[in-house]
Structure 1
Amino acid sequence: MARLNNPVLDTSIVVLATTVVFGERVLFPMFKIVASMLESFVNSLNVTHESMPQLEIPSKEYELVEAVQPEKAYVTMIIHDIESS
């Protein structure tokens, strides 16, 4: 490999190559080992599978009540409000 004129670029390429090799040869196999250990640990636990209790919401019955006042009473209430102001 020919030496480049830029020492920062040379250093960056060496660091990148070293990181890739270290990751492939050391870190990735280590992560696989840890993941398989965790998987075997989780599988070895004796956990009883119980279904979760169902949420029961009591239903309420509502009745529609229409309160209709005569128009005359409504007008007198408005007039009364204006007079008190």
Structure 2
Amino acid sequence: MKRLIFMASAAVALSSASANGQSTCDAAAFSEADADGNGWVDQSEFAAFVMPNCGLDFGEANTLFAVSDKDMNGVLDAAEFWRAIQKLFV
């Protein structure tokens, strides 16, 4: 059920994203994924978030993280996280 709610929320976010490419739904999802609240989503936090919510396996989650970490600093900022989630729906 949680996965369906997340998928519906993400679809709404994609269809109603603001001019800067982010939405309230995105901010909530990022905050949920950022388990330690440090403002970044590391690889383990990302996998823990997308595996149950998006139906990815561990390898898929890690691949998506790697291609989304554009500055290759080992963590995703909010913009990188948002682009990663968008890749699941485009």
TM range (shorter): under 0.3
The structure whose Rg is larger is 1
Q: Taking structure 2 as the reference length, what is the TM-score of the superposition?
A: 0.17
The structure in which a higher percent of residues are strand is 2
TM-score (norm 1): 0.17
Kindly indicate whether structure 1 or structure 2 has the higher relative contact order, using CA contacts under 8 Å at least 6 residues apart: 2
